[in-house]
Amino acid sequence: MCVHADTVGGCILSLSVCVFSGTQPNQAGNPYTAVTVGNPYTAVTAGNPYTAGTAGNPYTAATAGNPYTAATAVTAVMAGNPYTSATAGNPYTAATAVTAGNPYTATTAGNPYTAVTAGNPYTAATAGNPYTAAMAGNPYTAAMAGNPYTATTAGNPYTAATAGNPYTAATAGNPTQQRWQVFPTQQRWQ
């Protein structure tokens, strides 16, 4: 939009207004077009996670700012991975599939976890295990994948010697028998 005024001695003699109509968005879900003024994206912007064939894609393959690549469709076997290993900014790699629930791998750029990193919520050998076998306070053992208990106290989240243990050695959270469980504030049947 532009405004032009002709003045003489501070008085407006004529006033003209012109309005420019830019290219309108014509791509589904895309608030910008490649030529739209103020468009922070370009058609070749890295990190676009959508493609024309991607289910639920609000963009088209050429849409600026689309964060998916055409190869995304073939990564269906990589649980939860919306990227391909070649995609810029991809937090996943092809090895993700072998680490249950782990969205990262040791070699992934920007990966806050590694197999030996303290606080790593997963390891390749213990599916769903938020700790590693050597980590203090680990409620899992290496041999019992996904088991929040230890091998010697079935169903018992504590050990017999643990302070504040609501279980006794003889009634360690046994889910198959009815035994008395002694809790700090009450007694109840399991």
pLDDT at site 5: 56
pLDDT at site 35: 45
pLDDT at site 89: 44
pLDDT at site 21: 43
Q: Hey, where are the domains in the chain?
A: 47-112, 119-157
- The CA distance from 115 to 38, in Å, is 43
Specify whether the backbone of 61 is left (phi greater than 0), alpha (psi in -120 to 50) or beta: alpha
At residue 96, the 3 state secondary structure works out as helix
pLDDT at site 16: 56
Structure tokens at 123: 């390891």
Residues whose CB is less than 8 angstroms from the CB of residue 93 and which lie 6 or more positions away in sequence, other chains included: 85, 105, 107, 108
Burial class (CB in 10 A: 0-12, 13-18, 19+), 50: buried
- For the chain (190 residues), the mean pLDDT of every run of 10, in chain order, is 57 52 43 46 44 44 45 38 48 42 46 47 44 47 43 48 46 37 38
Contact 189/177 with Cβ under 8 angstroms? no
